[in-house]
Amino acid sequence: MSYTALAVAGVLAAVVADLFAFRVRLVRRRAFWTAYAIIIVCQLVTNGVLTGFRIVRYDPDAILGPRIAYAPVEDLLFGFALVLWTLDWWVWFGRRGRRRPTATGRRRRPTATGRSQVDGS
């Protein structure tokens, strides 16, 4: 498969996993899109450096051709799939571990449960 086809498939697979496997539904969340808006700017800069200085080179036959900030447009799809896949796992593990103290740090737990506190969930 060409990079183009793989990148499209990667985005679709990540979105399907987000909605139906993890059921985290990040693509419907404001916090995700806000974070992604920030990430994409950083990605364009980083990727621009990597491709602009030709640290990474692409086979012209594997890509469509159009480039944004030196990088093939496919990189945007690749980046989106990478970010969504990453954040889904992050949230999913957080969901699994949320019976323990999480993002806001150690909370007071009702002692009746007899649960010990564990950090670093």
Partner 1 sequence: MRHLGYLAVLAACLLGTAPLEVFLRTRVYARWRRLVRTLVPVLVVFVGWDLYAIARGQWSFDACRVTGVRLPGGIPVEEVLFFVVVPICAILTLEAVRARRRDWPGWSVGDEPAVPDRPDRAETRPESVPRRTSRGKAGRQPDDRGDASRRREVGDG
3 touches partner 1 (CB under 8 A): yes
Are 70 and 51 contacting, i.e. CB atoms less than 8 angstroms apart? yes
8 touches partner 1 (CB under 8 A): no
Residue-wise burial string across 57-95, b where 16 or more C-beta atoms lie within 10 A, e elsewhere: ebeeeebeeebeebbbebbbbbbbbbbbbebbeebbeee
Are 55 and 70 contacting, i.e. CB atoms less than 8 angstroms apart? no
Site for partner 1 in 49-68 (CB under 8 A): 49-50, 53-59, 62-63
> Minimum Å distance from CB 68 to partner 1?
16
Interatomic CA distance for residues 104 and 93, integer angstroms:
16
- Residue 66, classed as helix, strand or coil, is coil
> Minimum Å distance from CB 11 to partner 1?
12
Site for partner 1 in 96-115 (CB under 8 A): 96-99, 102-105, 107-110, 113, 115
- Binding site residues, partner 1, CB under 8 A: 2-3, 6, 10, 23-26, 28-32, 34-35, 38-39, 42-43, 46, 49-50, 53-59, 62-63, 79, 82-83, 85-87, 89-99, 102-105, 107-110, 113, 115, 120-121
